[in-house]
Amino acid sequence: MTIRAATEADRELLRELWAAFDEELGGPAFLREPWKEAWLDIQRHVAEGIALIAEADGRPVGFALVDVSANGGRAPELTDLYVTPEARRQGTAQALIRHVLTEVRARGSTVLTLEVMTENSGARALYERLGFREHSRYLSADLDLLEGALDAALPGRSYGSIHVQTDDVSPVERAVRQFVPRLGRSEGSAIGPARNGWITVHDELCDREPRLLRRLARELSERLGGIVLVLGVEHEQVVRMILFDRGGVADEYASVPEFHGPLPPGDVVALRANPTVLARLTGAEPVRVRAAARSARSPAELPPAADLVRDLAGVLGVSGPGDGYSGAEAQPGALLIRHG
């Protein structure tokens, strides 16, 4: 086996090795780099850093890349190390690392760092056996889950309801049975009888989780191809209304647009109810919408959120969300769905 420096002439050879490495590594999609971007990094390593190829019987069986840029005084980093399956357990990885050490020492460094995915147990075991020790962790978070955790830390109860613009309960029932189990461990859902052209949906889990309530409303609107209204109170302080049309947001309103933090001026304006859109899609009177959908910079400047949401629900011709899932269960004619 031989170890040699890689050159730009090795582009296709490195592409094959890199593609096999990327496929085997897997992991979250957002961590996977397209080849075009990967090649730019490899070119930089070839020109300024360390880029090595391992060969056995004239065939490439592995490669190693090291970033030696002194950005912020950081030590050289082993950014990539890969050995093909047939060349493993033959000392190929150790040989590559030994050559890396020689190159790094020649550049005056006494430390080598690397980053390894948690799921890559084989590589982690190798590095730990060779003396690498964990000093930091690289973490990621799904934005919906992160938002939910941040919201959960705020005081006050959240509650809401979904209203589907239809008199036909059957497709609503089918959609609820399909989508709710995907969102979490809900005990059950309650679908109320049609009232004023709307069918109300309450769910034991989604009613108290604003992000899940919005997701369910969007799913119902897209699946049913129609108008779906989500109406709720967040943390007993903010009234939120979103009107979906075939899965897209037709209008959105928040009584305190900047409750969760500063927003660009355009976003603040966008979170004020649009009476024209609401009148066209729900039949509500524009004048009454303007009066009910009030906005302010803080909850203290408005009436209690419970009063605001009740007034807005009345203007839109739907039942308010205040009773929640437990209250909806007791409604005459309500359809109850158990999910667990």
Q: What is the pLDDT of residue 324?
A: 80
Domain boundary among 129, 164, 184: 129
Instruction: Answer yes or no: is 238 within a domain.
Output: yes
For 213-235, what is the mean pLDDT? 96
Backbone angles phi and psi of 190, in degrees to 5:
-130, 125
As beta bridge partners, residue 2 has: 55
- 224 and 334 share one domain: yes
For 5-26, what is the mean pLDDT? 89
Instruction: Answer yes or no: is 274 within a domain.
Output: yes
Domain boundary among 129, 144, 164: 129
Q: What digits encode the pLDDT tens for the residues 28-80? A: 655 567 888 889 889 989 998 899 999 999 899 999 999 987 555 678 999 89
Q: What is the pLDDT of residue 142?
A: 76
CA 153 to chain centroid, in Å, comes to 19
Q: What is the pLDDT of residue 138?
A: 77
Q: What is the pLDDT of residue 32?
A: 66
How, if at all, do strands 59-67 and 188-191 pair?
unpaired
- 117 and 173 share one domain: no
Q: What is the pLDDT of residue 334?
A: 87
Instruction: Answer yes or no: is 78 within a domain.
Output: yes
- 166 and 300 share one domain: yes
Global confidence as pTM:
0.61
Q: What is the pLDDT of residue 323?
A: 74
Q: Among 1-5, 145-149, 178-182, which is the least confidently predicted range? A: 145-149
- 88 and 211 share one domain: no
Average pLDDT value for the chain: 90
- 254 and 322 share one domain: yes
What is the distance between the alpha carbons of residues 273 and 286, in angstroms, rounded to a whole number? 10
Domains of the chain: total: 2
Neighbours of 250 (CB within 10 A): 19
- 190 and 240 share one domain: yes
- 122 and 248 share one domain: no
**Are 277 and 293 contacting, i.e. CB atoms less than 8 angstroms apart?**
no
- 162 and 265 share one domain: yes
Q: What is the pLDDT of residue 137?
A: 81
- 326 and 215 share one domain: yes
Instruction: Answer yes or no: is 31 within a domain.
Output: yes
**Are 270 and 277 contacting, i.e. CB atoms less than 8 angstroms apart?**
no
Structure tokens at 67: 């970033």
Q: What digits encode the pLDDT tens for the residues 161-218? A: 999 999 999 999 999 999 999 888 899 999 999 999 999 999 999 999 999 999 999 9
Q: What digits encode the pLDDT tens for the residues 72-106? A: 567 899 989 999 999 999 999 999 999 999 999 99
As beta bridge partners, residue 238 has: 234
**Are 296 and 255 contacting, i.e. CB atoms less than 8 angstroms apart?**
yes
Q: What is the pLDDT of residue 153?
A: 80
**Contacts by residues 126-130 (CB-CB < 8 Å, ≥ 24 positions apart):** 126/93, 130/94, 130/97
Helices and strands of the chain, counted as H and E runs: 12, 12
- 240 and 284 share one domain: yes
Q: What is the pLDDT of residue 73?
A: 60
- 203 and 261 share one domain: yes
Q: Which domain holds residue 326?
A: 156-338
Domain boundary among 129, 145, 176: 129
Instruction: Answer yes or no: is 300 within a domain.
Output: yes
Instruction: Answer yes or no: is 151 within a domain.
Output: no
Q: Which residue has the tokens 């995907």?
A: 182
Instruction: Answer yes or no: is 148 within a domain.
Output: no
As beta bridge partners, residue 336 has: 190
- 209 and 262 share one domain: yes
**Contacts by residues 272-279 (CB-CB < 8 Å, ≥ 24 positions apart):** 273/241, 277/243, 277/250, 277/251, 278/243, 278/251, 278/316
Identify the three-state secondary structure at position 255. Answer: coil
Q: What is the pLDDT of residue 220?
A: 97
What is the distance between the alpha carbons of residues 69 and 14, in angstroms, rounded to a whole number? 21
Instruction: Answer yes or no: is 150 within a domain.
Output: no
